[in-house]
Amino acid sequence: MPFWDLQKHLGIDVDSWLLRQSMPQPYGRAARCHAFEREWVECGHGLGQTRARRECQPEYEDFMECMHRAKL
């Protein structure tokens, strides 16, 4: 957490592209890749960044594949 929250101070949100699946969705339905994002977040919760990248790589790849529709 930075000392000054620059994004909040300037009124911008650079991180929203990654968090859009977790946001409230229209008509209360889950987003297309919500299940993959949830698996990835649950896997990396409580781990350090380096360890999470190594141990949660399959979940992250599944989430990115769903987001970008690379292998449909």
pTM: 0.60
Q: What is the pLDDT of residue 29?
A: 73
- Name residues of the chain where pLDDT drops below 50: 1
> d(Cα 58, Cα 64) in Å, to the nearest integer?
10
pLDDT at 24: 65
Cα–Cα distance between 21 and 41 in angstroms, integer?
A: 12
Residues 6+ apart with CB under 8 A from 15: 7
DSSP assignment, residue 31?
P
Q: Determine the pLDDT at residue 59.
A: 92
The pLDDT value given to residue 57? 93
Q: pLDDT at position 47, please? A: 85
